[in-house]
Amino acid sequence: MKATYFKYQLQFKQASGTSRGVLTYKDTWFIQIEQGSFKGIGECGMFKGLSIDDRTDFETKLLWVCQNIQLGLEELLISLIEFPSIQFGLEMAFQSLKQEGSFELFPSDFTKGQDSIPINGLIWMGDKSFMKQQIKDKLAAGFSCIKLKIGAIDFDKELELIKSIRDEFDAQTIEIRVDANGAFKPNEALEKLKYLSDYKLHSIEQPIQQGQLHEMAQLCSETPLPIALDEELIGVFSVTNKSLLLQTIKPQYIILKPTLVGGFKGSQEWIDLSESNNIGWWVTSALESNIGLNAIAQWTYTLKSQLPQGLGTGGLFTNNIQAPLAVRSGQLFYDLKTKWNLKF
C-alpha cells in the first residue's frame, strides 16, 4: 500500500461573502491510496481561518500520513486527533478502497438514483439587493428551505429581507434558517433573537462567538428561537468533552461538518450524544469539492434524517470535479447519467 497527496485550488464562480471575509478561492488537498490495482481518493478540505487544523505543519502531517499509510486507518485516526480534515480524507480514501476504488462509498437508493436528499438553499452575505436576488433565485428553483448568512450588513436591513420573504411565504411554505457565524455580542444577542423570532424562523446558527460557554448556555435557556451550534463543535476532540459541552450549553440543535469535526467517526459521536440529550442535528458541507461532498452526501443519506441538510455547495466553483451530483427542486440527487471526471 502506498499513498500520495496533492493540493488543489477551487475557484468560486462569484466572490462569496462569509463572516471570514469575501472568498474568491478555496484551497483543498487530496490524498490517494493505492493497493494492488485499486486506488482510493479522499479530500482533506482544511478551511483556512476556521479549521482547527489550520496549522503551519498541516502539509508536514499529510506527508507523514503518506509515509506511514501502512499503519492502517484505525491507528492513523488516533494519531490524527488534532487534524480532523485529514482524518476525514483518510476515511474517504479507505472506504473507496473497500469498494474497489469506486466513488460509490455507501451503496443505497441514493447512489442508485432512486431517492434524493432534501437540502437548504444557501444565501450568501452581501448588500440587500444581492441577497434579495439570491432569495428570488432559490425560491424560483423550488427550494422550500433557505439559509441566510446574516451579520454582515445592518441588522435592520436583514430584518427587512426576512420580513419580505414572510410577507409572501408563510412558515409552512418556506422554512428559513439563519446563520450569524458568531456575529452578535452576548449582551445584545437575546434582544436580536427576539426580533428574529417574530418571523417564525426554524433556527439560528451560532449567534455568538464560540468559546463563551456560560453565555451560550444562558442564551439557549432563554431564547425564543431554536439555537444550533456550529463553530462551537470545532476542536472538541474527546467523547467526554463533547458530552460536557452539550450538557453545559443544552442547545436545541447541532450542525455537523465532517471535515471540521473528524469525519464520519467524529460526526457519529456527536450524533449519538445529541440524540441521547434530545438535541436535534443536521449535516452540512464545508466548501469541499465534489469528492468531499459526494462522501458527505452518501453517508448522510444512510442516517435517514428527515431535516433538510446543508449539501448544496457543489455548484459554487468553476473548476469543481465533474460528479453525478445534481440539485433539482431543493433536493440533491445522484444523477447516473453524469460520470466522474477527475481532471485536476
Which residues are catalytically annotated? Answer: 149, 257
Task: Report the C-alpha gap between 300 and 247 in whole angstroms.
Answer: 25
User: At how many degrees (to 10) do helices 84-98 and 290-303 cross?
Assistant: 80
Cβ-Cβ contacts under 8 Å for 321 (sequence gap 6 or more) = 289, 290, 291, 340, 341, 342, 343, 344
Strands (E), the chain: 2-18, 21-35, 38-44, 117-118, 121-123, 145-149, 175-179, 203-205, 227-229, 253-256, 280-283, 325-328, 331-334
Which amino acid type is present at position 196?
L
**What is the SS3 string spanning 14-57?**
EEEEECCEEEEEEEEEEEEEEECCEEEEEEECCCCCCCCCCCCC
Task: Report the C-alpha gap between 229 and 211 in whole angstroms.
Answer: 11
Task: Report the C-alpha gap between 176 and 268 in whole angstroms.
Answer: 26
Residue 316: HSE in the Cβ half-sphere, 13 Å Cα cutoff: 26
